[in-house]
Structure 1
Amino acid sequence: MKTHVKALVVGGGAVGTGIAYHLAKAGWDTMLVERDELTSGSTWHAAGLLPLFNMSYATTHIHKYSVDFYKSLEAETGLNAGFAVVGNLRMAQTQDRMDEYMLYSSVAETAGVYHEFLTPAEMKERWPLLRTDDLKGALFHPQDGYINPADVTQAMAKGARQHGVTIERKIQVDSYRWTGSEWIVSVTRMEERGGMLLPSEEKYEIHAEHVVTATGNHSQRTAKLLGIKIPAIPVEHQYIVTEPDPMLVEYRKTHGEHPVLRDADAKWYVREERGGWILGPYEYGAPARFEYGVPDSFRADLFPLDLERIEAEYMSMIHRLPSSETVGLKDDFNGPICYTPDGNPLVGPAPGLRNMWLAEGFSFGITAAGGTGHYLAQLMTEGEAEIDMASLDPKRYGAWMTTEYAARKNEECYNHVFILHHPDEEREDCRPLRTAPAYDRQIEMGAQMGQVNGWERPNYYGPKDAPQGFDHDGRSFRRGTWWPYAKAEAEAVRNTVGVIDASAFTKHLLRGPGATAFLDHFTCNKLPNVGRINLTYALTEAGTTRTEYTIVRLKENEYYLISAGAWTAYDYDFLQKCADDWMADGGGYLDIHDVTTQWGVFALAGPNARALLKDLVKDADPATVLGNKRFPWLSYRDIELGMCPVRAIRVAYTGELGWELHYPIEFGRYLWDLLWSVGEKHGLKGVGARAQNWLRQEKSYRAFGNELGRDATPLEAALDRFVDLNKDFRGKAKMLETGIRSKCVTVLIDGPADADPWGKEALLVNGEKVGRLTSGGYSVAFGKQIGMGYVRPDLAEVGTKLKVKMLREEWDAVVVEDSPFDPSNARIRIDG
C-alpha cells in the first residue's frame, strides 16, 4: 500500500470521493482510504436529490457547481451517474412561503441559478395528478432533479483514479500524529468476521502533508482522534417507497417524469420511483443517533421505521397527490444523516491543527459533494477559494459547544428543513445558554433575544405589557412585528441616547516583546499610539479580508483586539497560528489570550451620551475627563463609573457620539442598573442588534461576513483609508496584484412600502445583473431603504442609478457617498 502522499482523504462516500477527484485534478498526489466499502455510509441510502434552493450565497455556488459537474461525469469517465434531470418544483401554500421564494430568487439571480415561477393553474396543466387549488404558486428549477448516489460516487471515484488517486478500501484510521511538517496516520486493514467489520493484524503508517476527513457518521470518532470538537451528529431520516400508482403509470405513457415535488409547508419531498412514489418527510421528533460514536456492529444498516412519526406527512402527500391514496407501501428506509446546528456543513481548516481539513456534517451530501470538492481543493491548493467559505468554516463553533448542545440543535435543524427560513429567524432550542449578567434585566424591559455564537443579545425591545395577541415572533420576509420598535430605537440613537449590549464581541489580549512588530506586519493599517485605537484588517495570503480588528493599544507592547462576536474561535485560530509562525521565524515572543468571556461591553451612543456619562463618572471634573482634549475620538481611557472600573473606548458603531464601555464581566448587572439610574432624564433607550445594523449602514460601516470577507480585498471594499501602502504587511502583494474586480458601495433605495432589503438582493442595470447587496435595511435618517453591496467598478461612482430586485420587482436605487449620514463625522467628534 502507498505510504507517502501529498494529500490523504479519509472517507469514501460522495463527499470524500468528490474531494479526492478535485485534489488530484489540481495536481496533488492523493490517496483515499475508506474503512468499509465506497458508499457504505449515508451515501448508500440517500434519496439522491439535488436541490439548488439555498439561502446561502456560498452554498448556492457549491450546489450549482455539483449539478453542472455531475452532468459532465459520463463523458469523462464512461460511467452514467444516474442523473435524472426532471426539475424541482417547490410548492407554496401561503403568501409567506411565496415571499421566501421571492427572496431566494434574488440569491439565485446573484449566483446565476436559473429558475421560474409557476401559478397553480400552470402546475395543474403540466402535472394533472397534483392538487393545486389550495396553492399560491411554486418555484421551479428545471435544470436539477435527482441522481443515483452510488452511481455518482463510483463515477467520481473512477474519475479520481484516472487523475492518479489511489483508493484503498477496508482501511480504518487509528491515530493522527503531526510531526511539524507532515501527518503520520496509523491505519489498520479491516476484515469481516461474523458479519462485523473488525481490525486485522495488518497495520500501516501513511505519511501525508495534508489530511482531509470526510468521515460522515463517524465524525465523533474523528473528533476524538484529533482532540477537537466537531458538532456533526447524525439524525434519523426516513423515507418510504410506494407500490406503483396506476394513475401515474397511465400518465407516464404519454408524459415525461414528474419533477421532484416539494410541499415545504407540509414538510416533505416526493419523487417518482418505478411507477410509484418516494416520500421523504422532515417531521418533528426525529432523534439524533451516534452522539458518542458509531457502534462497530453498525455498517450499511438502517433503523426501524416509525410510521406514526410521519403520519401527518403521509396524509398530506395523499392530499397533494390524491391518486396515491390507495397505493400500498413497497419499501422503507430509516438511516442516519449527519447534521450541524445551523444545517451548513463544516468545511475548512480544523481548529488548532496544521494541514488538517474537515469536510463533515453534510445533511445534503450528494448535492454538495462535487462543489465541496471543487472549492475545498481551491482552498488547499491555492490558499483561498473564489467564493468566501467562512460561513462553512468549522471554527464558527467554539470550545463552548458540547455534544449535548450539538445533538439537540441538530434535531432542531432536521425538523426545520422545511420551516420558513426568515432572514430574522431565531431558533429556540438550547436557549438561553450563554448570557451576560444583565440578561434578566433586559428580559424584564421587554428584550426579544437573538443569539450569536451561543450568546444571548437583544434583537429589539418589544412592549413590556404587550397587547393581547401581540406576536413577538411575528417574523416576515417583509417588515415583521419588530420593525416599529427597531425604528424607534434607531431614532433614539440619532436624537437622544441608546445602550446596546455588545458583550458578544470577540476580544483578545496580545502582548510580549514581539507584539508591535508582529501586529504591524499582521495588519494593513498603521498601529495606534499608546492610549489610542485604530480600525484595521488582517489579510489572507490571497490579499482578501480575513478579519476586521479594532486595535486598542494599552501599552508599548500590549494590545486589546476587538473583532466580530460570531467569529471568536475563527479569529483566535488564525491569530495564534500566524503568531506561532512569526515566533518560529525568529520574531519576538507573543502571548495571546482569548478574553471574550472576561469583559462585557455596553455601547452607549447618541447626542446625550456624554451628558449621561458626566452624571456617573468618578473624577474631579467629569466634563473635562470626557471632553475632546482629554478623551478625543478614537482613544481609550480607564475610568470609573460608580464602583465599576471601565475600559472606555471612544468609538461608536452607529456613527454617533459614543463610547464602548468594556467592563469586567462580573460588574455587568451593577453597571446596567447604574446607567439606567440616570438614563431616563437623558432619554436613554435600550437598543437591539437590528436597529444597530440599520444605523451602521447609514455610516457605510462594513460588517465582517457581509461586506468583508475572503472574496474581496480591503481596496475592493473601498477601505483605502485603512490601508497603509507605505509599509509591508501580510497579503499586500497579492492584494495589489488582484486589483479592483468589484467595488463596495452604499445605496439608497425607493423600495416597497412594506419591505426592506435583507442583503441578498441582485443589483441591476437595464435588466442585467451588475452586483449584489450584502447588507440591507431601513434608514431613519433618510426615511427609505438602505443597502450596501458590490458592483462593477465602473458603476461605483456617486450618483449612479441602479435597480434592486425585491419581491420580483425592480426598485430604483442610487449610489451615494460613503457615510451618507454625517459624512464629515462632526457628530462623532463633537466636544462638550
Structure 2
Amino acid sequence: MKTQVKALVVGGGAIGASVAYHLAKAGWDDVVLMERDELTAGSTWHAAGLLPLFNMSYAVSHIHQYSVEFYKSLEEETGLNAGFSIVGNLRMARTQERMDEYMLYASTAETVGVPYEFLTPEQIKERWPLVNVEGLKGAIYHPTDGYINPADVTQAMAKGARQRGVEIYRKCQVDDYEWTGTDWIVRGTIMVEKGGNLVPGDEKFEIRAEHVVTCTGNHAQRTAKMLGIKMPAIPVEHQFIVTEPDPALVEYRKTHGEHPVLRDADAKWYVREERGGWILGPYERGAPACFEYGVPDSFRADLFPLDLERIEEEYMAMIERIPSTEEVGLKDDFNGPICYTPDGNPLVGPAPGLRNMWLAEGFSFGITAAGGTGYYLAQMMVDGEAEIDMASLDPKRFGQKWMTTEYAARKNEECYEHVYILHHPDEEREACRPLRTGPAYERQKSRGAQFGVVNGFERPNYFGPLDAADNFDHDARSFRRGGWWQYAVDEAKAIREGVGVVDATAFTKHIVKGPGATAFLDWFTCNKLPKTGRINLTYALTDAGTVRTEYTIVRLKDDEYYLVSAGAWHEYDQDFLIKSVQDKEAEFGRIDVQDVTTQWGVFAIAGPKSRDVLNKIIKDADPATALSNKRFPWLSARQIELGMCPVNAIRVAYTGELGWELHHPIEMQNYLFDLLEKAGAEFEMKWVGARAQNWLRQEKSYRAFGNELGRDATPLEADLPRFVDLSKEFRGKAAMEAKGVRSKCVTVLIDGPEDADPWGREALYSGDTKIGRLTSGGYSVAFGKSIGMAYVKPEFAEAGTKLKVKIRNQLWDAEITVDSPYDSKNETIRKDG
C-alpha cells in the first residue's frame, strides 16, 4: 500500500470510480481509490441504473449529459461492456400543467444540447401500443436516454482508472482524518470477513494525501463527524420491484426493439424492461429517511424489508398505464438506501472550512451523475475551476450554523416525495418551515406575506391577499403567470411610482478590519476601494478570473469595512473570505473578519416618495436637508436616527430608484417596521417582495449572483468594466484578461405570450442558430412586456439586435436593449430633495 499520494478518493461506488478515473485522465498520476468493502457495495449495487436527462438545473443537466456521452466510450477504452441500453425515455403527462413543466424543462435541455421531442397521445400509442394513453395530454421523449448496469459501469470506470495508473484498495476503512497544514494524514483499518460480516481487523494503515475526495454515499454522516462538519446527505428508503415476464411485452419484442423507459410523473413512477418483464420504481409519500446518525457496522450490501402497502397506489397506476402487467407476477423486490439532500442536488466541491478536502456526496441519481461529476470535479481540483459554474452544487449552500440532522432527514424525505411532484419555478417547499425568521415575520405574515426560503431564512416573495388561506401560495404557483403575478406587478409599480419597502435582512454581512484590511481588500476585489463614508460595488474573483462573489463595500474607517453580499450564499462567501484572509494575513498584516449577518436587519426603502417617508421620522438638527444630495449623496453611507432606532443607512437601491438600505439592530426591527408603516401610510407605501424586486433590477440591468454572475464568466464578460480597475493588481486579474470576452451579458425585451414570462433558462436564437441563453427573466412594469438578461456571443450583443427566445416551445420576438433600459442615465436614483 502506498503511504503518500497526490489524491486519495474514499468510496468505491460509481461516483468514487469516476472521480479517480477523471483525476488520472486530467494528468494526476498518483491517485489512490479506497473502499471499505467491495466496489459497488453501497447504493450502486441495487440502483436501477436509469440515466434520466430531465433536470431543471443547468449544472446538473451538463453533468448528466456528459455522463451519457462518456459511458458510450468506456467499452472501447476498457474492453468492458457497461450494459448501456439506449432505448429512449418517454415522460408522460396527464395534465396541461405537467406539459407546461416539460416545456419549461425543454428550455434548459436546449441550452445544454439535450435532444428531445414532444409527442401527442396518438403518437405515443402508434409507437408503443402497450401503453394505455387514456387521460394523457402528451409526453416529452428523449431518444438518447436509457439505462445502464450500475455494477458494470463502475467496474469499467475502475478498470479505466487502473489503466491510467490509479491504485484501488478494497476492504480499507477510513477511521480518522488529520490536516497537517500541508496535507492530510488518513488513518484506518483493514477490514476482514467474520461470520458473514465485515469487521475491523488488527492491521492498521496510514496514508498521506495532498488532496482527499470523499464519495462515501450512505456513510456520509460518519464522514462528516470525522471531518467535524455538517453534511445534509442522508439516505431515504427507495423501493422497486421486478415482475415476471409479461407475455404481451415478449410478443412485442419479436418485431420491435427494446421498449423505452416509461415515466408517468403524475402517477409517481418509472418503468423499464427487465428480461421480458418490468422494473417498477415508485416515488411514494412516506418513504422514511434512514441512517441519520450513521450506517450500522453490520449493514453491507443489504436491503430493508419491502413495504408493498406503501407503494400500492403506484403499483395500481402502473397496471392502469400498462394493462398487460395486471396478470404478471412479482419476481423480485428491492428496498435500499439512496442518499438525498434537501434540494435534491448533490454536494460537489470544497468542504466547508477545510483545505484540499473535496466532497462528492448526496447523490440521489448517482449513476446518471457519476461520469459528469468526476469530470467537472477533476477540473475544479486540477485546473482551479470547472468550465461550468458549479456553485449551485457547492456543499456550503446549507449553513453549518443552522443545518441539523433533523432538518436534513425531514427535508430529504420531502425531496424524495417531490421527485415527480410538479417542479414549479416559483416552488417553495413546506417541510421544516418556518425555521429562521426575522422579528418582523409575524407582522409581514399578517400583511399577506407569502414567503420563500433563502439560506433557511424566511423572506417575503410577495404580499398576497390579507384573507388568504394558508395554501394560497401553493394554489398561486404556475409555469405561466401564477396567481401571485398581479400582486408582484402592483408592488413593482409602487416602487416605480410611489414608495415600497423590501425586507433584505437575509443579506450576508461581514466586518473586515485591522491593519491589513485595506491592502487585503484591494487585492481581494477588482474595483477601487471606496473612501471613508462611501460605498462601492465590486467583485471577488476566482484564480481563474471569473466572478466568485459580489460585494457592496462600505468603508467605515480607514481600516474598517462593512461587506454586504447575497443572502443565499452566506457560508459560501464566508468560507472563501476567511480562507483568503488566512492565505494573505502574513503578507498584509492582521485582518479580523466578523460575521454580523444575524446582528443587523435590513429594510430597503425605494421609490420617488421614499425621501418623503424618511423625512417624517428622521431625527436631525435639520431634518429637511438630512437626506439631500448635498448631505447624503448617492453611493454614500451615514449613521442616522429614525425615531429611536439607530440606523446605518446606505444610499443605494437594487431596484434602481431613489432609495436607502436601512441597516438596523435586529432587536429593533419591529419598532422600525411600525415606524415606517405609520410614516408611509399617507404615501400609500407598500411592502414589496423579492419577485417584484427581481423584475425591477432587470430593468436596470443589475446582475444577480447565481444568475448573471458566477464562476463561468468574468466581470468583463458580464459587461461590467466600470467595476474593474485595471490599473491595480488583484486576484484573478491575469486569468481574466487572458480569457478575453467569450460571451457577453445583455438585457433583452421580449414580445412574449400574454400569459407567460421567461424564467431565465430559455434559449436565444438568431435565425435557426442558437446564440445564447437567458439567465434571468420576468416582467417589466416600465415597458409593459417580458424582460430578461442573457449571455450571447459577442457579435450579437449590440443594442437593437433582433433575436428569438423560446418560451413554452415557441419562438417569440426579442430585442437586445441598452444597458439599464430604465433610467439609463441614473437621473431618478440621484434625485435631489
Q: TM-score, normalised by structure 1?
A: 0.99
Give the structure 1 partner of residue 428 of structure 2: 426
Q: Deviations over 1:128-151 (max 9, x none)?
A: 010012111111111110000000
Q: How does 1:489-638 map to 2 (within 5 A)?
A: 489-584=491-586, 586-638=587-639
Say if 2:450 and 2:473, in contact at 8 Å, map to a contact too: no
Deviation at 1:14, TM superposition (A): 0.1
Deviation at 1:743, TM superposition (A): 0.2
Q: Deviations over 1:279-328 (max 9, x none)?
A: 00000000000000000010100000010100100000000000001111
Q: How does 1:376-775 map to 2 (within 5 A)?
A: 376-399=377-400, 400-466=402-468, 473-584=475-586, 586-775=587-776
Deviation at 1:471, TM superposition (A): 6.3
Structure 2 alignment gaps of length 5 or more: none
Say if 1:432 and 1:456, in contact at 8 Å, map to a contact too: yes
Instruction: Provide the C-alpha distance between the structure 1 equivalents of 2:161 and 2:269, rounded to a whole number of angstroms.
Output: 34
Say if 1:612 and 1:678, in contact at 8 Å, map to a contact too: yes
Say if 1:462 and 1:472, in contact at 8 Å, map to a contact too: no
Q: Deviations over 1:246-293 (max 9, x none)?
A: 111111111111100000000000001111110000000000000000
Instruction: Provide the C-alpha distance between the structure 2 equivalents of 1:333 and 1:546, rounded to a whole number of angstroms.
Output: 43
Say if 1:115 and 1:142, in contact at 8 Å, map to a contact too: yes
Deviation at 1:467, TM superposition (A): 9.2
Deviation at 1:470, TM superposition (A): 6.3
Give the structure 2 partner of residue 3 of structure 1: 3
Q: Aligned letter for 1:587? A: F
Deviation at 1:465, TM superposition (A): 2.5
Q: How does 1:177-216 map to 2 (within 5 A)?
A: 177-216=178-217
Instruction: Provide the C-alpha distance between the structure 2 equivalents of 1:364 and 1:471, rounded to a whole number of angstroms.
Output: 29
Instruction: Provide the C-alpha distance between the structure 1 equivalents of 2:44 and 2:470, rounded to a whole number of angstroms.
Output: 50
Instruction: Provide the C-alpha distance between the structure 2 equivalents of 1:507 and 1:83, rounded to a whole number of angstroms.
Output: 49
Say if 1:472 and 1:482, in contact at 8 Å, map to a contact too: no
Instruction: Provide the C-alpha distance between the structure 2 equivalents of 1:369 and 1:471, rounded to a whole number of angstroms.
Output: 36
Deviation at 1:208, TM superposition (A): 0.6
Q: Aligned letter for 2:521? A: L
Q: Aligned letter for 2:213? A: V
Structure-2 change in CA distance of 1:471 and 1:22 (3 Å): closer
Say if 1:235 and 1:286, in contact at 8 Å, map to a contact too: yes
For the residue of structure 2 that corresponds to 1:71, the secondary structure is: helix
Instruction: Provide the C-alpha distance between the structure 2 equivalents of 1:240 and 1:625, rounded to a whole number of angstroms.
Output: 72
Say if 1:347 and 1:359, in contact at 8 Å, map to a contact too: yes
Instruction: Provide the C-alpha distance between the structure 2 equivalents of 1:680 and 1:63, rounded to a whole number of angstroms.
Output: 52
For the residue of structure 2 that corresponds to 1:829, the secondary structure is: coil
Say if 2:614 and 2:679, in contact at 8 Å, map to a contact too: no
Give the structure 1 partner of residue 18 of structure 2: 18
Instruction: Provide the C-alpha distance between the structure 1 equivalents of 2:231 and 2:446, rounded to a whole number of angstroms.
Output: 36
Give the structure 2 partner of residue 318 of structure 1: 319
Deviation at 1:473, TM superposition (A): 3.1
Instruction: Provide the C-alpha distance between the structure 1 equivalents of 2:768 and 2:668, rounded to a whole number of angstroms.
Output: 55
Deviation at 1:610, TM superposition (A): 0.4
Instruction: Provide the C-alpha distance between the structure 1 equivalents of 2:301 and 2:612, rounded to a whole number of angstroms.
Output: 69
For the residue of structure 2 that corresponds to 1:38, the secondary structure is: coil
Aligned residues: 831
Structure 1 alignment gaps of length 5 or more: none
Instruction: Provide the C-alpha distance between the structure 2 equivalents of 1:123 and 1:365, rounded to a whole number of angstroms.
Output: 29
For the residue of structure 2 that corresponds to 1:551, the secondary structure is: strand
Instruction: Provide the C-alpha distance between the structure 1 equivalents of 2:679 and 2:509, rounded to a whole number of angstroms.
Output: 29
Structure-2 change in CA distance of 1:723 and 1:237 (3 Å): same
Instruction: Provide the C-alpha distance between the structure 1 equivalents of 2:499 and 2:626, rounded to a whole number of angstroms.
Output: 19
Instruction: Provide the C-alpha distance between the structure 2 equivalents of 1:358 and 1:227, rounded to a whole number of angstroms.
Output: 13
Q: How does 1:92-491 map to 2 (within 5 A)?
A: 92-399=93-400, 400-466=402-468, 473-491=475-493
Say if 1:448 and 1:472, in contact at 8 Å, map to a contact too: no
Instruction: Provide the C-alpha distance between the structure 2 equivalents of 1:223 and 1:373, rounded to a whole number of angstroms.
Output: 21
Q: Aligned letter for 1:512? A: G
For the residue of structure 1 that corresponds to 2:299, the secondary structure is: coil
Deviation at 1:742, TM superposition (A): 0.2
Instruction: Provide the C-alpha distance between the structure 1 equivalents of 2:399 and 2:228, rounded to a whole number of angstroms.
Output: 14
Give the structure 2 partner of residue 46 of structure 1: 47
Q: Aligned letter for 1:114? A: P
Instruction: Provide the C-alpha distance between the structure 2 equivalents of 1:288 and 1:185, rounded to a whole number of angstroms.
Output: 29
Q: Aligned letter for 1:569? A: E
After TM superposition, the structure 1 stretch with the greater mean CA deviation from structure 2, 522-531 or 464-473, is 464-473
Instruction: Provide the C-alpha distance between the structure 2 equivalents of 1:178 and 1:287, rounded to a whole number of angstroms.
Output: 36
Q: Aligned letter for 1:291? A: E
For the residue of structure 1 that corresponds to 2:48, the secondary structure is: coil
After TM superposition, the structure 1 stretch with the greater mean CA deviation from structure 2, 358-367 or 22-31, is 22-31
Deviation at 1:622, TM superposition (A): 1.1
Q: Deviations over 1:785-807 (max 9, x none)?
A: 00001000000001001100011
User: Quick one: percent identity of the two aligned structures?
Assistant: 77
Deviation at 1:422, TM superposition (A): 0.7
Q: Deviations over 1:769-789 (max 9, x none)?
A: 100000000000000000001
Q: Deviations over 1:35-61 (max 9, x none)?
A: 000000000000000001111111000
Q: Aligned letter for 2:15? A: V
Structure-2 change in CA distance of 1:472 and 1:409 (3 Å): closer
Instruction: Provide the C-alpha distance between the structure 2 equivalents of 1:619 and 1:770, rounded to a whole number of angstroms.
Output: 55
Root mean square deviation of aligned Cα = 0.9
Say if 1:174 and 1:225, in contact at 8 Å, map to a contact too: yes
Deviation at 1:362, TM superposition (A): 0.2
After TM superposition, the structure 1 stretch with the greater mean CA deviation from structure 2, 244-253 or 602-611, is 244-253
Say if 1:535 and 1:549, in contact at 8 Å, map to a contact too: yes
Q: TM-score, normalised by structure 2?
A: 0.99
Instruction: Provide the C-alpha distance between the structure 1 equivalents of 2:816 and 2:595, rounded to a whole number of angstroms.
Output: 39
Instruction: Provide the C-alpha distance between the structure 1 equivalents of 2:470 and 2:519, rounded to a whole number of angstroms.
Output: 61
Instruction: Provide the C-alpha distance between the structure 2 equivalents of 1:677 and 1:26, rounded to a whole number of angstroms.
Output: 62
Say if 1:472 and 1:481, in contact at 8 Å, map to a contact too: no
Instruction: Provide the C-alpha distance between the structure 2 equivalents of 1:456 and 1:466, rounded to a whole number of angstroms.
Output: 18
